[in-house]
Amino acid sequence: MWATAAGTDRANVDDRATHVIHASLIRPVLFAGAEPPVVIVETCVVFALLFVVGIHVTTVAIAVFWLTVVHSTMVWVAKQEPQMTMLYVRSLSGRDFYVAHARAHTPTPAPHPAIPAWR
């Protein structure tokens, strides 16, 4: 049993070094609560609505709808999984079904006759 100068026990103290991980290393990078690519697309859509289409009552209403409803939905998605949209985009490149196949160096099995040999 270890004792210090003050007389406290060190039996329960672990001698391994403890390292603090800064929160910025594990916290996801989000802009306005959503993923950065999503926020960039939202901003481009709103600017296109307002400045390309023109400032009308309809386009302003659509832009406000987009900024409130769509952005709120994307913030909710980012709270569930911070990389959900990137995961979804990556999943689009995969196929729905992969045909089963043997390994490259697996020996070919001997064929079985469909009609048994006559004895």
> What is the reported pLDDT for 46?
95
- pTM exceeds 0.75, yes or no: no
- Taking the C-alpha atoms of residue 64 and residue 58, their distance in angstroms, rounded to an integer, is 10
* 59 Cβ contact list (under 8 Å, min separation 6): 49, 50, 53
> What is the reported pLDDT for 1?
47
* 79 Cβ contact list (under 8 Å, min separation 6): 33
Q: Where are the domains of the chain?
A: 33-91
Q: Tell me which DSSP letter residue 26 carries.
A: T
Per-residue pLDDT of the chain (119 residues; tens, 9 = 90+): 455 555 555 555 566 677 888 888 888 889 999 999 999 999 999 999 999 999 999 999 999 999 999 999 999 999 999 989 989 989 888 878 777 766 777 777 777 777 777 76
Tokens matching residue 13: 């103290």
Tokens matching residue 32: 């306005």
**Residue 49 CB neighbour total at 10 angstroms:** 20
> What is the reported pLDDT for 107?
75
> What is the reported pLDDT for 104?
75
> What is the reported pLDDT for 66?
94
44 three-state secondary structure? helix
Residue 56 in contact with residue 8, Cβ under 8 Å? no
> What is the reported pLDDT for 110?
78
